[in-house]
Amino acid sequence: MKKAIVAGGCFWCTEAVFQRVKGVESVTSGFCGGRIKNPPYREVVQGRTGHAEAIEILYDEQIVSYKELIEVFMATHDPTTLNRQGYDIGTHYRSAVFYKNEEQQQTALGVISELTASKTFGEAIVTEIAPATVFYPAEEIHGNYYNNNREQGYCQVIIDPKIRKLMTGFKQLVK
């Protein structure tokens, strides 16, 4: 099993998307890219820690490649907005790929280069590509949030469209 860490705004959204990808064994919501140890959610969302809301993906590379994960990631959030996703604003909602090795770094940069060349988004991609720091799991209440709260307005308005993008754009990768 391999690990990948990405941040695409609210971790409830990215967790829900990647839980539905073939080859993904588990998805953990948490924080990465900041400057303090064991950051509590309350401090992160107030912008005090430098962390991004992120997910750690445990996946089987025999079933899904790192490149495919990055392609899904880029397609299911807006990588062109700096420090925000929709109504969620702040550095903790930034778009980021936290790579664990040079191969992951080069793969992420390659996907961004392909998307830029094809003008997929029409605007510049501002996704941060940075070395992974320690990943800190979030409090338990944040785990599996979408699956436990599908009736919530946020889930229906914000997360459902991201899952629909996965289901239509990446049918071959859906569990």
Q: What is the pLDDT of residues 114-140, one digit of tens each?
A: 999 999 999 999 999 999 999 999 999
> In terms of residue numbers, what domain contains 132?
2-173
Query: What proportion of the chain, given as a percentage, has pLDDT over 70?
Result: 100
Tell me the per-residue pLDDT of 6-45, one tens digit each, with 9 for 90 and over.
Answer: 999 999 999 999 999 999 999 999 999 999 999 989 999 9
Catalytic positions are 10
Confidence at 66, pLDDT banded by 50, 70, 90: very high
Predicted local confidence at residue 87, as pLDDT: 84
Contacting residues for 46 by C-beta, under 8 A, at least 6 apart: none
Phi (first) and psi of residue 49, to 5 degrees? -115, -15
Cα separations in angstroms, 17 against 22, 118, 144: 11, 24, 11
Q: Please state the domain count of the chain.
A: 1
Task: Return the ∠ at Cα 139 (arms to 158 and 57), rounded to 5°.
Answer: 65
Q: What is the CATH number of the domain that holds 56?
A: 3.30.1060.10
